[in-house]
Structure 1
Amino acid sequence: MEDGLVRSISSGLSQKGVRDHNERLLLSLIQRHGALPGSDLARIANLSPPTVSAILRRLESDGLLERGDPVRGKVGKPSIPMRLAPDGVYSYGLKIGRRSAELVLIDFCGDTRHQRQLNYDIPLPDTIFDFVGAAVSEISGALSPEAVARICGFGVAAPFGLWNWPNTSDESDAAFQSWKDVDLRVRTADISGLPVTLMNDATAACQAEHMFGRGKEFRDYAYFFIGAFIGGGVVLNNSVFEGPQGNAGALGSLRTVGPNGESMQLVDMASIHQLELRLREVDLDPRQLWTDPDSWTSLSRYVDPWLGQTAQELAKAALSTCSVIDFEAILIDGAFPPAIREELVGRVRRYMATQDTRGLIPPRIEAGSIGAKARSVGAASQPVGTQFML
């Protein structure tokens, strides 16, 4: 046996299985660290240089890697860093949210090549699947046959138990019940003809941040995503942890106390839904929060108190989360403009300074970087990760 992972052949893996594992390892390292020459990859992966060279040639021939610009050192030949080929792989990602559905097609580097969005008051299955069918047909028609052949799968990000979303009318509650008999995987596969993966929407957002955003800076962290309802994700040892049922990091269910001392969940106190309710009380249309980013500034009279409440709740939730695992950081993102995100993070930091932290190591509070499309991008990244990464 050569070295490293190849030794696992003796444990019963086939030669091809080990080769695939080593390919995934190198692709994962390049995705995580950026372009790297073969010598660096061999050292980090604990594989021999000839093994790495052979794998890199194979991945380049398959169109998954491409050569970067030569890097000249003080002595010897220049090294050639290898990087992911953007056109090597594509993947669809669908986010089903409380106020909108979003479909994206991303490339191997996580960049969005195509994006379609549908806004609604209530997400009804037939409405969303009609949208998906039309969008997939339109996007596929704009691609070359070669590009279509490189679409590896279709990821779907949605809240688990869509029919349990809280609502304010019997009519909308009845509409949500229609999701009970819908198999998202089957319906999406029928439309796209692709293998389908399903993720919790907040976990998908965490996945996007981890693969393509600031998650690369931290080994262990908790992630909060604030949409119509707040959710979260957990990253341990540089991997998004989904749990045995895919529901790990359900941070929106953390307990908190309501304005009258009643027991409530974080989702009831720190979601954009709360801001929507404030706007409805003064006869303002809350849909502008989703369709007009500038409205967050023009509505500052209502946004500011919502920010204060949300920041206070997030500070308490961050410490509660860190009482279980001593995360080095808490990342916060959401479906709002970057300026609102930065203001929210700043307020959470200030509230953290006033909290009782006995027995805890306060984490860093940092802003996420993906923004509103984190859930759809994260959904699209799942087929890529499943088929090409470790």
Structure 2
Amino acid sequence: MRRGSNQLRLADFNQAVVLDVLRRSPGASRADLRRESGLSPQTISNITRRLIDDGLIRETEPAGSARGRPSIPLVVDRDGAFSVGVHIDPARLTTVLLDLDGQVRLRRQERTPQATNPPEVTAMIAATADSVIREAGVDRDRVLGLGIAAPGPLDVHAGVIVDPPQLPNWRNVRLRSDLHHATGLPVLLDKDVTAAATAELRSSKAPANAFVFLYLGSGVGASVVVDNQVLRGVTNNIGEVGDIIVDTDAEQLEWAGRRGGLAAACVPEALVIQAARLGLVPLPDLSDYVAIDDACTALCEQAAGGNSGATWILDRAARRVAVGLGVLINLLDVPRVVLGGPLWNRLAQAFLPVLTELVAGELVVARPALVVEGSAIGEHVAAQGAAELVMDHFLAPRAAALLVGES
């Protein structure tokens, strides 16, 4: 096993509180930190000195020309810590390197190997993680760990991928342990939709957040944020919404998904089957998710180019997705919907102009201020969320629900 890095560790809970405030409110002064944390001036002085010495925060120049001795703003040192996030989608493998300031230093997207043995994908993830760390020129000792966002179901506490429908032969794969041994880094495993919602929440500047995140990739899922908290469910497997019925008169697609379900409305496999029936694209091997993804891209490009058949397929998909979103909003009573994931950029042109009105028509209680929008982060949102989870696990003052270990 490769030698692991010397992990940065916060001295105590109070130090974590101070660093968390600065991560969320850059430019705060020591007086601001005292007010925000309730800690004494001496405690704040000791903690900030320690954080500066550890290279996690730094002082900046005061703004303006205030009279007297100005307060010195403090910000996190973006080179103070890093994390790697990886999103395993059956078609695309996305890797990001995140710095302490929450900025993506490096992003890479590759086709997911279609081999049915998980060790090939595991080896690719380990090699890619090492590569982005080297390419970015960061100190490996400053890399806190590796976060993995993967399709469910998962056993988050054991670090095991249980039996994802779209990853053949991935039953009970001990991915966290395998990647820890391959990289020497602590590894966290979480569900893709949860990771995506985490990144979206982190990107928000609003003081209060409540929204449904609809994840669109090779599969479909949903995550929920209420009162600035990402809901996880009892087993950390929240978000299996593909079987919500959105069209009782839907055609039979002769695939594994439920007829008339949300997945049948919008996942690439279902869209490609519909397109093939209209002669718009050749029907690919439905066990090859890269080929399916390529065919879905071709369909979306045809719709963007004005092809009437392709436009009809995506318009109908938008109407069906609106029904599913209406069900979720009626159930969860949230004012905002965010859509994202690897497929979203290709669907956005067809979906965004019509979704708000379509969803509003499905609601039991009228919501004049309803917001339906695309992710602020983009198609790498789940990978960024996986990296954010690592940062929070090691640096946030609240204990995370995820375990790190070798088992």
Q: Pick the TM interval, shorter chain.
A: 0.7 to 0.9
Q: How far did 1:279 drift?
A: 3.9
Q: How far did 1:62 drift?
A: 1.0
Q: 1:286 to 1:339 in 2, by over 3 A?
A: closer
| 1:327 aligned residue | 334
Q: Which of 23, 26, 29 does residue 21 from structure 2 map onto?
A: 29
Map 1:214-233 onto structure 2 (within 5 A): 214=204, 216=206, 218-233=208-223
Cα RMSD (Å): 3.2
Q: How far, CA to CA, are the matches of 1:253 and 1:61 in structure 2?
A: 53
Q: Which of 376, 398, 403 does residue 369 from structure 1 map onto?
A: 376
Q: Which of 40, 46, 49 does residue 38 from structure 2 map onto?
A: 46
- Aligned letter for 2:364? T
Residue 272, structure 1, aligned to residue 260, structure 2: no
Q: 1:298 to 1:329 in 2, by over 3 A?
A: closer
Q: 1:18 to 1:112 in 2, by over 3 A?
A: closer
Map 1:35-114 onto structure 2 (within 5 A): 35-72=27-64, 74-114=66-106
Q: How far, CA to CA, are the matches of 2:369 and 2:331 in structure 1?
A: 12
Number of residues of Structure 1 aligned to a counterpart in Structure 2: 363
- Aligned letter for 1:129? T
Higher helix share: 1
Q: 1:294 to 1:264 in 2, by over 3 A?
A: closer
Q: 1:306 to 1:136 in 2, by over 3 A?
A: same
Q: Is the 8 A contact 1:220 1:238 kept in 2?
A: yes
Map 1:170-319 onto structure 2 (within 5 A): 176-211=167-202, 213-214=203-204, 216=206, 218-260=208-250, 264-281=260-277, 282=279, 283-284=281-282, 286-288=292-294, 295=301, 300-301=306-307, 304-319=311-326
Kindly provide the CA deviation profile for residues 154-188 of structure 1, in whole angstroms up to 9, marking residues without a partner as x. Answer: 1111111474426xxxxxxxxx4421142111111
Deviating more after overlay: 328-337 vs 372-381: 328-337
Deviating more after overlay: 350-359 vs 372-381: 350-359
Q: How far, CA to CA, are the matches of 2:207 and 2:311 in structure 1?
A: 30
Q: 1:290 to 1:141 in 2, by over 3 A?
A: farther
Q: 1:57 to 1:295 in 2, by over 3 A?
A: farther
Q: How far, CA to CA, are the matches of 1:199 and 1:134 in structure 2?
A: 20
Q: How far did 1:78 drift?
A: 2.1
- Aligned letter for 2:100? F
Q: How far, CA to CA, are the matches of 2:87 and 2:266 in structure 1?
A: 21
Identity of aligned residues (%): 23
Q: Normalising by structure 2, report the TM-score.
A: 0.78
Q: How far, CA to CA, are the matches of 2:111 and 2:363 in structure 1?
A: 42
| 1:134 aligned residue | 127
| 2:389 aligned residue | 382
Kindly provide the CA deviation profile for residues 183-236 of structure 1, in whole angstroms up to 9, marking residues without a partner as x. Answer: 11111111111111111011111111111x237564222211211211121112
Q: How far, CA to CA, are the matches of 2:380 and 2:209 in structure 1?
A: 23
Gaps of 5+ in 1: 1-16, 167-175
| 2:165 aligned residue | 165
Gaps of 5+ in 2: 1-8, 154-160, 252-257, 283-290, 398-407
